Amino acid sequence: MVRGTGMFVKIVMVTAWFLAAGEAHAITLVQDGKPAATIVVAASPTPAALLAAKELQYHVKEMTGAMLPVEHPGADTAAVAILVGESEATRKLGLRSEDFQSQEYLIRIQDGLIVLMGRDWQDTPANRLEVGSDMVHSLADTRDKVNYTAAVGWENAPADIIELPGILDDQGTCYATYDFLERFCDVRWYGPSLLNVVIPSARTLTVPPAEIRRRPSLLHRNAPGGGWPIIRKQWARHDGAQKDLFDRRMRFGGERWACNHSFASYRDRFLVKNPDAPQLWERSRPDFFAVGWENEGFWRQLCMTHPDLIEQVVQDARDYFDGKGVKGRQLACGDYFSVVPEDSDHWCKCQRCQAVLAPGKSRDIKHTFGTGTASDYVFGFVNAVAREVRKSHPDKYIATLAYHVYSYPPTFELESNVAVAPCVQLCYAYQKGVFENDANFYGQWIARSEGRKVYLWNYFHHPMERAILGGWKCFPCFMPDVISQWVKRYHEDGVRGFFLCGIPQQLDYYLYMQTAFNVDTDWTALVDEFFVRYFGAAAEPMKAFYYRIMQINREEGVLGTSPDASWGRLGTEQRMNELGALMDRAVALARTDVEKQRVATWKSGVWEYMLEGRTEYLQKQQ
């Protein structure tokens, strides 16, 4: 396992301060490489408590060489007890999982005892039957089974197959344990591979008294991905089990919510019987579908003013909320049922729909993705569904997006049980004249959403997605200042959570997830720490390389969404020479094998990717 130094000295200093100030005594977990504490879990721990105990044991072992034993309450031990998850021992202290809010967790270090626990999903038959989706996978499918010892690199250890808590299952005990490992053991997870993990070395581990009880700053944190060119290299070689563990370590998931285009299965249910999914067919209702787009295929929109269609969607929502499941590729999770048109603006041409759409033409904004031309049309449909659903299920919500030509709020008020997710292109924050429009409609939604549940679809896909789809390589964009500013603003505005669309590179992703979990995160301190702890002797040129790419995007006020923008304006010969010199210096300065391997992931993933992009551009120009 990769080891490092860094902030562990600071932890010892904090401990000394507590002692000098006459406060409660610090607690020693490991003394001179020998265990001084015992991990205590219930005889039948929750999936979260089981994982948390293993993660605590593993990281302390890698840090100190000492393997803390795991016992059940009542075991005869004179060592310090670390209570992980609810057990008979925590109940004697008046601490029960059910008394915590969803995602709330506790770190208590005092009186010779450590408590790490929170609200956890309980493994019961009823909970196993819950339906829902995280956008792609069912709740059940997110409870991955992994060989834990293999995932953490203990190659000679016996196989240890465990079921991880689902990403949308309560796992407060995991949150407590990961926060403990970060705050008090100085562990950092910069990616899923073993190379990406930083664990300090220390023969003695002592932690100061503390009492932390909190929930994450943003309650839904969904950010899948990792397969794009740059981050794939930065995250180095890793397997699926390591990525599953990394998602939990980043506290990926949270509150049960999902929202996306939701009518893909209506074609199979009401228009054409699909031989690959014959079970979905119900009856022929071609009048449900948009007039004038009969050859549109799977992208075909619906006739969203049709009263029978509205009645059908209402019934689908009621069936889901009544525990009858979803039909085909419907999207629903927790208290939310998604109602979002397909991904096009080919609206129905019937007279009834066109009458609603016509006034929206005055709300067009030229050369801009997000407008309000169809806001009244789409949100009128959403309102009609929500109004009826509230009559039977007053505590449930219709989830919808504010997207593309319905990015702006409608001219009327939405029903109180509509949960809106504006689609904000944060990746354009440096491009002049583009992000201002997104910030405008986002601000209008926030101004009109007092008391409403608001989420976000946050785009972080450009310029990388444009380059991938176009078969070329872009000049990347790093923007830690923007990420920090806006994630903190989301929290201040009462946004409950986000779906992050696009994960372009390692550090910005890490910063985004850390800030979403705790908005007190200082982005400059986090970035400084990353380069020092990750690259060691090569930290200075690597940080300069990162910041220079950030500055170039900001100075030019353009995103590299085309080859000309990437290599004609951003990645000029002079700038590429400057960046190349910084990378060469980092390669020369890296001392240890680990430092060299980490620099190599950025050289290959970022710098060589950029070189290939510019070379291809110049060849085409010639």
What's the CATH code of the domain at 190? 3.30.379.10
Distance CA(405)–CA(434), nearest Å, equals: 15
**Local structure of 455: helix, strand or coil:** strand
Residue span of the structural domain in which 172 resides: 3-215
Count of beta carbons in the 10 Å neighbourhood of residue 490: 26
| DSSP annotation string for 364-379 | --TT-S---TTHHHHH
In a domain, 506, yes or no: yes
The span from the CA of 263 to the CA of 78, in Å, is 60
Q: What is the pLDDT of residue 15?
A: 36
d(CA 439, CA 489): 11
C-alpha to C-alpha distance for 414 and 382, rounded to whole angstroms: 9
Cα–Cα distance measured from residue 259 to residue 220, given in angstroms and rounded to the nearest whole number = 12
pLDDT at position 209, please?
Answer: 97
- pLDDT for residue 135: 83
Co-location of 413 and 376 in the same domain = yes
Which amino acid, one-letter code, is at 278?
P
- Pairing between strand 253-254 and 145-147? unpaired
Residue found under tokens 């380069």: 531
Checking if the pLDDT of 427 tops 60, the result is yes
Report the distance separating Cα 109 and Cα 39, nearest Å: 14
Is residue 222 situated within a structural domain? no
Long-range contacts of 90-96, Cβ-Cβ distance < 8 Å, separation of 24 or more: 90/115, 90/117
User: CA Rg, the chain, in Å?
Assistant: 26
Q: Is residue 575 part of a domain?
A: yes
Report the chain's mean pLDDT, rounded to a whole number. Answer: 94
Rounded distance between C-alpha atoms, residue 126 and residue 78, angstroms: 39
Are residue 234 and residue 330 in the same domain, yes or no? no
Confidence category of residue 79, pLDDT binned at 50, 70, 90? confident
pLDDT of residue 23: 52
- Which helix (H) or strand (E) segment holds residue 604: the answer is none
Contacts of 257 (CB under 8 A, 6+ apart): 220, 333, 334, 336, 399, 419, 455, 496, 497
In single-letter form, the type of residue at position 45 comes to: P
Question: Is the model's pLDDT at 6 over the cut of 70?
Answer: no
Is 147 inside a domain boundary? yes
Tell me: pLDDT of 430 over 50. yes
> For residue range 99-136, what is the model confidence (pLDDT) as tens digits?
999 999 999 999 999 999 999 999 999 999 999 988 88
Domain boundary among 395, 424, 453: 424
For residues 200 and 239, membership in a common domain is answered with: no
Taking Cα atoms as reference points, which of 58, 2, 42 lies closest to residue 178? 58
Starting from the edge strand earliest in sequence, which strands make up the sheet with 397-402, in order? 253-254, 220-222, 497-501, 455-459, 418-424, 397-402, 336-338, 332-333
Contacting residues for 48 by C-beta, under 8 A, at least 6 apart: 85, 120, 121, 165, 169, 170, 171, 172, 173, 174
Examine residue 620 and state whether it is found in any structural domain, yes or no.
yes
Cα separation, 517 vs 123, whole angstroms = 25
In a domain, 432, yes or no: no
- pLDDT tens-place string over residues 10-51: 333 333 333 333 356 899 999 999 999 999 999 999 999 999
Query: What is residue 504's predicted lDDT score, i.e. its pLDDT?
Result: 86
The residue-averaged pLDDT of 416-422 equals 98
Residues 236 and 263 in one domain: no
Angle of helix 172-185 relative to helix 47-64, nearest 10 degrees? Answer: 20
Domain match, 355 and 449 both: no
Q: Are residues 250 and 261 in the same domain?
A: no
Read off the pLDDT of residues 172-230 as tens digits, 9 standing for 90 and up: 999 999 999 999 999 999 999 999 999 999 999 999 999 999 999 999 999 998 999 99
CA distance 289 to 300: 7
pLDDT at 9 over 90: no
Does the residue 430 lie in any domain? no
pLDDT score recorded for residue 571: 98
Is residue 2 scored above 80 in pLDDT? no
pLDDT at 297 over 90: no
Last residue of a domain, one of 380, 395, 424: 424
Show the CA angle centred on residue 615, arms to residues 610 and 621, nearest 5°.
130
For the chain, what's the residue count? 622
Same domain flag for 111 and 169: yes
Do 246 and 346 reside in the same domain of the chain? Answer: no
Residue 294 burial (10 A CB sphere; 0-12, 13-18, 19+): exposed
Question: 194 is written with which tokens?
Answer: 């073993």
**Omega of the bond leading into 47 within 30 degrees of 0 (cis):** no
Identity of residue 31:
Q
Residue 185 shares a structural domain with residue 95: yes
Please check the confidence at residue 271 and state whether its pLDDT lies above 50.
yes
Query: Which of 424, 458, 480 finishes a domain?
Result: 424
**Residue 74, pLDDT score:** 81
The count of structural domains within the chain is: 3
The arithmetic mean of pLDDT across residues 284-301, rounded, is 94
Longest dimension (CA), the chain: 81
DSSP reduced 3-state for 458: strand
pLDDT in tens, 321-351: 999 999 998 999 999 999 999 999 999 999 9
pLDDT tens digits along 383-407:
999 999 999 999 999 999 999 999 9
3-state secondary structure 480-529: HHHHHHHHHHHHHCCCCEEEEECCCCHHHHHHHHHHHHCCCCCHHHHHHH
Q: Does residue 235 share a domain with residue 381?
A: no
**339 Cβ contact partners less than 8 Å away, ≥ 6 residues apart:** 262, 313, 317, 381, 382, 385, 386, 398, 399, 400
Provide the pLDDT for residue 187: 98
Q: Which of 622, 538, 612, 597 is nearest to 191 (CA)?
A: 597
Strand partners, 113: 81, 110
Neighbours of 491 (CB within 10 A): 17
Residues 15 and 52 placed together within one structural domain of the fold: yes
559-578 pLDDT, tens digit per residue, is: 999 999 999 999 999 999 99
Are the C-beta atoms of 261 and 267 separated by less than 8 Å? Answer: no
* 478 touches 508 (CB < 8 A): yes
Q: Is residue 429 domain-resident?
A: no
Burial class (CB in 10 A: 0-12, 13-18, 19+), 344: middle
* pLDDT bracket for residue 298 (50, 70, 90): confident
69 HSE (CA, 13 A, CB side): 15
d(CA 118, CA 174): 8
Pairing relation of β-strands 220-222 and 497-501? parallel
Query: What are 144's two structure tokens?
Result: 């991955």
CB of 344 closer than 8 Å to CB of 301: yes
Instruction: Say yes or no: 165 and 260 in one domain.
Output: no
